[in-house]
Chains A and B, each alone.
Chain A
Amino acid sequence: MAEYTRPQSEQEFDQNFKQKKPLMNQTEAYMESSRCLFCYDAPCVQACPTHIDIPLFIKQIHTENVEGAARTIYDMNWMGNACGKVCPTQVLCEGACVFNHQHVKPIEIGRLQNFATSQVMTAGKPLFHPGAPNGKKVAIIGAGPAGISCACELRVLGYSVTIFEAKEKPSGLTVYGTAPYKITNTEALTEVDYLQKQLGFQINYASPVSTIEQLQKLEADYDAVFLGVGNGPTAALRLPGEDFENVIGAVEFVEALRFQKHRIRVPDRVVVIGGGNTAMDAASESARMGSSQVYLAYRRSREQMGAYWFEYDLAISAGVKSVFNASPLEILGNGKATGVRFIRTTQENGALNEIPGSEFVLECDLVIKATGQAKLADFLGKIQGLELDKSKRIVVNPVTFQTGNPKYFAGGDAVNGGAEVVNGAFEGKQAALGIHAYLTNS
């Protein structure tokens, strides 16, 4: 018995994908902000990858200086609104809140952050201005959180900035790859629009950069290039049957879901393969689309999942069933998947061993592979001097985010392998400061 019925309209879709962190009203924000203790050297600030002065902005909200609160947030994090909604706050700021030690509910920092930023965003109230033009130009590849953050910071410093984005919309995975109950398309896009209006960076959409010639032109036309390219499509599992028509990557599944909403039909029986947060999202999303039987299959144990416990709980609460210690052997079917054959696994000293004779089949009408995105090694290999590590991540200076090619800087998933929006926002901003130091020899 499914927990959710199939959404037939946009309203029903929105109902099934109700926001996990809905916007606070004035009273809620007032009451919640009053609880903050204003800790010294606050653990929440330490836990935030962008080090937003959280106690300060909460106090500002409480004293009805909401614009000041938004400024405190954006001063440190250009994705202030998106982060308030999509950050895994339970393991970051809210997880660090001292109230946890007293078994008191931690301050809802994410929602308070959102309360402040959404007010200036909705009002279109500018908080920042571009710096005096310094005559230098920077190209940014990718309009995701890292690219946009880098652009904003560079504009404040007076650089002319052009972003080259392969897709039709900005925000990267915030809008293309995040579960719809975490942030709406409108929210994600409004923030970029809000920032673009006050800081005036150029975004060229549907402008993929992929060839050596294009790269050479950027190098000739711009003083520096920032790579905020993220990762590629879902990586191949190299399983028989992987090319069947109803086998899809999680990233591709989420993208379709976010833009087609109730218009896509997720079949009744779904198997999601993977143990990361994207796997949890895909499973939870399938259940919310009305699929009656959603299995989450992971080759290791529950404790070893990369996913946060709360994302797993969310999937389970949506009606998802989980199968652990099950490694996929092949996708069954005849041009169309009808099931996945698994084998049970055990572990010894970290090594995964298959248990002979323990094979079993989960029947299904859709297989979602949530086993990570491929790296863009082919493209990155075209940039001279760029160094990649064993996992094909771009190697950068940890402070300046400069790559092996001094003209190139990088941040976000392409560097960290695939982390949160907040990490991309931090790295993009830091890279902008690195670019500034490089171009001013300071």
Chain B
Amino acid sequence: MTDLSINFAGIKAPNPFWLASAPPTNSGYQIMKAFEAGWGGAVWKTLGVPVVNVSSRYGGLNYRDTRMAGFTNIELITDRTLADNLREMEEVKKYFPNHAVIASLMVESRKEWQQIIKDVENAGADGIELNFGCPHGMCERGMGSAVGQEPAVLKTIVEWVMEAATVPVITKLTPNISDIEDPGLAAVQGGTNAISLINTIKSIIGIDLDTFSPLPAVDGKGTNGGYCGPAVKPIALNMVRQLAQHPEIAGTPISGIGGIETWRDVVEYILLGCTSVQVCTAVMHYGFGIVREMESGLRQFMEDRGFQTIYDFAGKALPNVVEWKDLNLKHKVVASINADKCIGCQLCYIACEDGAHQAIALPQNGQTRVPEIIDENCVGCNLCSLVCPVEECITMEKRDSGKEQLTWDELVAADAAPVAFNDPRAGGNGHYVPEPVKALNK
């Protein structure tokens, strides 16, 4: 029997699907509705001194007919009074004692931190999340990502929090730094019980071509926003795995955030070591109901593979994420086009011809539009299979024996590759490139 329940650093929840601290968790009304819909936990929209917000707050990045492939916001933390939020938090816990309610917090002084922790604990919060991530507005006031970008300050505040907190503490990190390991390590050294990431990415989502104002526009002006949504998932996945692999951070529970919309996204985060996930943009796009797809897909995935709990596969992808120098240089794949499936769009041809390695030829006989792979030119880059609009039409076929293993370090150690220009072998490996003038009559 599949069991989706989790115990995340001591915070228990019926499933790993949590709402991230954001507009969907602005009120008790929304969180109760979300729990009814199937969410296992919610991180309350960040509490602090209530802010004043601007009108016009969000912007979307559309790709073709896909709305909000990326999303940005310039909304600040809660603009509601602490008393209202605490009263509603208490009520939510009364109705949903087994769901996880986590209070996201952002204040300035040690005194304020320790006071607000008592307040939310009294209201029944199951955990606390420290908002060190918000990259717009609040950072100008020395909070949010301004803290997340200074590991020393971050560590100090975590220490203040740990002095006062009796419930588990999650430190939420900003991706707007050079190396996520620095704040991650600082949080662990400060004593945090868990980490969540990523918060949003500093961004300008677009410019209005008529008014020249950045979007979203506030009276003709704009500011950098926090970027999120499906487009940021790859960045978040890499940061998650960096922390999960770090020897001093590994073992600290990680709640994954960034572009999660479907069960597939959820599984990827778990495979890279997360044991809870947080969702915002997908809910802002489709409502709380999307959790049904996530839950159904996750259950199916686990049943198909015989996983009882998410801990059975959490982190299973981590050993496979290695450094470039550890990749096997003897691995060889070559593209193969299934002529029966090919619809003749020739996107693979032009992509390879103009954008990659000139390893695809057009058919010469005029009877068909199916291009042909020039095996000896194909470097196995995948591009053709990525642009192909037909599922399983272009596949990458393994051509190595599978018996040989050679890494870059081994290659260099065996003195089998040049590492400097003055090496006589530094003329490249000689893979095919056409003469430049051949381009002129194409």
Q: In the complex, what distance in Å separates the CA atom of A41 from the CA atom of B346? A: 8
Q: Is there an interface contact between B65 and A99, defined as CB atoms closer than 8 Å?
A: no
Complex interface: chain B residues within 8 A of A30 (CB): 65
Q: Which of A32-40, A204-212, A291-299, A384-392 contacts B (4 or more CB under 8 A)?
A: A32-40
Q: Is there an interface contact between A40 and B346, defined as CB atoms closer than 8 Å?
A: yes
Does A62 make an interface contact (CB < 8 A)?
yes
Instruction: Give, as a whole number of angstroms, the nearest-CB distance from A40 to chain B.
Output: 4
Instruction: Give, as a whole number of angstroms, the nearest-CB distance from B34 to chain A.
Output: 30
Most buried by A among B342, B344, B347: B344
Q: Is there an interface contact between A39 and B65, defined as CB atoms closer than 8 Å?
A: no
Given contacts A40-B350, A43-B369, A102-B390, contact A34 B343 (CB under 8 A): no
Instruction: Give, as a whole number of angstroms, the nearest-CB distance from A137 to chain B.
Output: 40
Other-chain contact of A37, B65, B345, B349, B369 (Cβ < 8 Å):
B345
Question: Which residues from 10 to 26 on chain B have a C-beta closer than 8 Å to any C-beta of chain A?
Answer: none
Does B64 make an interface contact (CB < 8 A)?
yes
Complex interface: chain A residues within 8 A of B362 (CB): 41
Complex interface: chain B residues within 8 A of A39 (CB): 344-347
How many positions in chain A have a CB within 8 Å of any CB in the partner chain?
15
Does A98 make an interface contact (CB < 8 A)?
yes
Question: Which residues from 21 to 61 on chain A have a C-beta closer than 8 Å to any C-beta of chain B?
Answer: 30-31, 34-35, 37-41, 43
Q: In the complex, what distance in Å separates the CA atom of A101 from the CA atom of B393? A: 13
How many positions in chain B have a CB within 8 Å of any CB in the partner chain?
14
Other-chain contact of A40, B65, B343, B345 (Cβ < 8 Å):
B345
Query: A-side binding surface: helix, strand, loop or mixed?
Result: helix
Complex interface: chain B residues within 8 A of A31 (CB): 65
Q: Is there an interface contact between B346 and A62, defined as CB atoms closer than 8 Å?
A: no
Contact with A along B327-354 (1 / 0, CB 8 A): 0000000000000001111110110000
Q: Is there an interface contact between A98 and B65, defined as CB atoms closer than 8 Å?
A: no
Q: Is there an interface contact between A98 and B64, defined as CB atoms closer than 8 Å?
A: no
Q: Is there an interface contact between A37 and B350, defined as CB atoms closer than 8 Å?
A: no
Complex interface: chain B residues within 8 A of A38 (CB): 347
Q: In the complex, what distance in Å separates the CA atom of A35 from the CA atom of B349? A: 20
Q: Is there an interface contact between B343 and A102, defined as CB atoms closer than 8 Å?
A: yes
Q: Is there an interface contact between B347 and A37, defined as CB atoms closer than 8 Å?
A: yes
Question: Which residues from 119 to 144 on chain A have a C-beta closer than 8 Å to any C-beta of chain B?
Answer: none
Q: Is there an interface contact between A37 and B64, defined as CB atoms closer than 8 Å?
A: no
Residue on A nearest B66 in the bound complex, by CB: A34
Contact with A along B150-169 (1 / 0, CB 8 A): 00000000000000000000
Other-chain contact of B389, A37, A40, A41 (Cβ < 8 Å):
A37
Q: In the complex, what distance in Å separates the CA atom of A31 from the CA atom of B66? A: 9
Q: In the complex, what distance in Å separates the CA atom of A39 from the CA atom of B65? A: 18
Complex interface: chain B residues within 8 A of A101 (CB): 342-344
Q: In the complex, what distance in Å separates the CA atom of A127 from the CA atom of B221? A: 35
Instruction: Give, as a whole number of angstroms, the nearest-CB distance from A46 to chain B.
Output: 10
Given contacts A31-B65, A37-B389, contact A98 B349 (CB under 8 A): no
Q: Is there an interface contact between B345 and A34, defined as CB atoms closer than 8 Å?
A: no
Q: In the complex, what distance in Å separates the CA atom of A40 from the CA atom of B347? A: 6
Residue on B nearest A99 in the bound complex, by CB: B343
Complex interface: chain A residues within 8 A of B350 (CB): 40
Residue on B nearest A37 in the bound complex, by CB: B345
Complex interface: chain A residues within 8 A of B347 (CB): 37-40
Most buried by A among B345, B350, B362: B345
Residue on A nearest B369 in the bound complex, by CB: A43
Most buried by B among A30, A35, A38, A101: A101
Other-chain contact of B64, A34, A40, A41, A43 (Cβ < 8 Å):
A34
Most buried by B among A34, A37, A40, A98: A40
Question: Which residues from 341 to 379 on chain B have a C-beta closer than 8 Å to any C-beta of chain A?
Answer: 342-347, 349-350, 362, 369
Q: In the complex, what distance in Å separates the CA atom of A43 from the CA atom of B349? A: 14
Complex interface: chain B residues within 8 A of A99 (CB): 343
Other-chain contact of A34, B65, B349, B369 (Cβ < 8 Å):
B65
Residue on A nearest B345 in the bound complex, by CB: A39
Complex interface: chain A residues within 8 A of B65 (CB): 30-31, 34-35
Contact with B along A10-27 (1 / 0, CB 8 A): 000000000000000000
Other-chain contact of A62, B64, B349, B369 (Cβ < 8 Å):
B64
Instruction: Give, as a whole number of angstroms, the nearest-CB distance from B371 to chain A.
Output: 9
Most buried by B among A31, A41, A62: A41
Q: Is there an interface contact between B349 and A40, defined as CB atoms closer than 8 Å?
A: yes
Residue on B nearest A64 in the bound complex, by CB: B209
Instruction: Give, as a whole number of angstroms, the nearest-CB distance from A77 to chain B.
Output: 23
Contact with B along A51-81 (1 / 0, CB 8 A): 0000000000010000000000000000000
Residue on A nearest B341 in the bound complex, by CB: A102
Q: In the complex, what distance in Å separates the CA atom of A268 from the CA atom of B342? A: 51
Complex interface: chain A residues within 8 A of B390 (CB): 102
Instruction: Give, as a whole number of angstroms, the nearest-CB distance from A315 to chain B.
Output: 31
Question: Which residues from 242 to 269 on chain B have a C-beta closer than 8 Å to any C-beta of chain A?
Answer: none
Residue on B nearest A30 in the bound complex, by CB: B65
Complex interface: chain B residues within 8 A of A37 (CB): 345, 347, 389
Q: In the complex, what distance in Å separates the CA atom of A314 from the CA atom of B342? A: 32
Question: 9 smallest A-B Cβ distances: which pairs?
Answer: A34-B65, A40-B346, A40-B350, A101-B343, A34-B64, A98-B343, A39-B345, A98-B345, A37-B345
Contact residues of A with B, CB < 8 Å?
30-31, 34-35, 37-41, 43, 62, 98-99, 101-102
Apart from A30-B65, A98-B343, A98-B344, list 7 A-B contacts with CB within 8 A. Answer: A34-B65, A35-B65, A37-B347, A37-B389, A38-B347, A40-B349, A102-B343
Contact residues of B with A, CB < 8 Å?
64-65, 342-347, 349-350, 362, 369, 389-390
12 A-B pairs in the complex with CB atoms less than 8 angstroms apart: A31-B65, A34-B64, A35-B65, A37-B345, A37-B347, A37-B389, A40-B345, A40-B349, A62-B64, A98-B343, A99-B343, A101-B343
